[in-house]
Amino acid sequence: MAKAKICDRCGAIYQDNLVSKNCKAIGGVTLCDKHDIGIEETHKDLCDDCLKSLDKWLQEGSKEHHASKKV
């Protein structure tokens, strides 16, 4: 029996994530404090579309950050 999940961002129903980084499937995000300890109640399951959107946002922010440091 398959396990159905609901995306915490858009509400889409999905079974498994296919988006991967470094050969591992990505299933969501968890906020951590400055000591890399997960903050309680912060894990969010994300569907593949929302994971792709998050990755795009992170990559664009990284490019802007590096470009602003060049003087």
Structure tokens at 5: 């999940």
Provide the domain limits for residue 51.
5-69
C-alpha–C-alpha distance, residues 6 and 61, integer Å: 27
Tell me how many domains the chain contains: 1
* Model confidence pLDDT, tens digit, residues 13-58: 998 888 777 767 777 788 888 888 777 777 889 999 999 998 899 8
Q: What is the pLDDT of residue 42?
A: 77
Q: What is the pLDDT of residue 40?
A: 74
Beta-bridge partners for 21 = 24
Residue 35 · residue 1 · CB < 8 Å: no
Residue type, 51: L
User: Which SS3 state, helix, strand or coil, does residue 62 take?
Assistant: helix
Q: What is the pLDDT of residue 66?
A: 60
Q: What is the pLDDT of residue 34?
A: 82
